[in-house]
Each structure stands twice: as C-alpha cells, then as structure tokens.
C-alpha cells in the first residue's frame, strides 16, 4: 500500500496515536463519513450521466430525408390568351 513497508506503517501508527491520542476514533469516524459522502456524490453523478445517455438513446430520431432536387432554370410562364380581342 503506497510502497510502505511494515516498519514505515508502524512508525506512522505511533505518530498517529501520539498526535491524536484519545481523539483518534473521532478522527477516523469523521474521515469515514467523509468518504461515504464522497462515494454517494460520485454515484449520483454517474447515475445522472447514464440516465441522460439512456434517454438520448431511447429518443426516436426522425428518418433521414433524401436530398431534394432543385431546378436549374426558373419556371416558364405563358402569357394568358385573351379570348375576346379588344378587351
């Protein structure tokens, strides 16, 4: 664990007892609660991300439309014929 041998772990344990003394269980308890809250936060974020990805996958996508043809020339209009001359 972290490249520490038995002797280093023992020295750290002795230092922890000397520094914290009777408050060592309280420090451990608060550290444990902090880790639990951190893990809950991470799992909440993971659930939110996976939920949004599932919604995106489940959403129906409209079918692709084929490209439309565009006329190269303008439409030609014919002049209306007047059945009555002079009007």
pLDDT tens track for 5-21:
889 989 988 888 888 78
> Could you tell me the pTM of the whole model?
0.42
Reduced to 3 states, what is the DSSP secondary structure of residue 46? helix
pLDDT tens track for 26-80:
888 999 999 999 999 999 888 888 888 777 777 677 778 888 877 677 767 777 7
Contact 31, 38 (CB under 8 A): no
**pLDDT value at position 85?**
62
> How far is residue 15's CA from residue 27's CA, in Å, rounded to a whole number?
14
The length of the chain in residues reads: 87
In the block, residue with structure tokens 């809950």: 40
In the block, residue with structure tokens 């991470």: 42
> How far is residue 25's CA from residue 23's CA, in Å, rounded to a whole number?
6
């Amino acid at each position: 664990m972290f490249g520490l041998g038995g002797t280093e772990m023992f020295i750290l344990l002795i230092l922890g007892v000397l520094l914290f003394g009777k408050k060592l269980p309280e420090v451990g308890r608060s550290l444990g609660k902090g880790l639990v809250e951190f893990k809950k936060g991470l799992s909440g974020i993971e659930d939110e991300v996976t939920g949004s990805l599932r919604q995106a996958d489940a959403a129906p996508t409209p079918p692709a439309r084929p490209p439309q043809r565009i006329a190269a020339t303008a439409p030609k209009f014919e002049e209306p014929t007047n059945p009555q001359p002079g009007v």
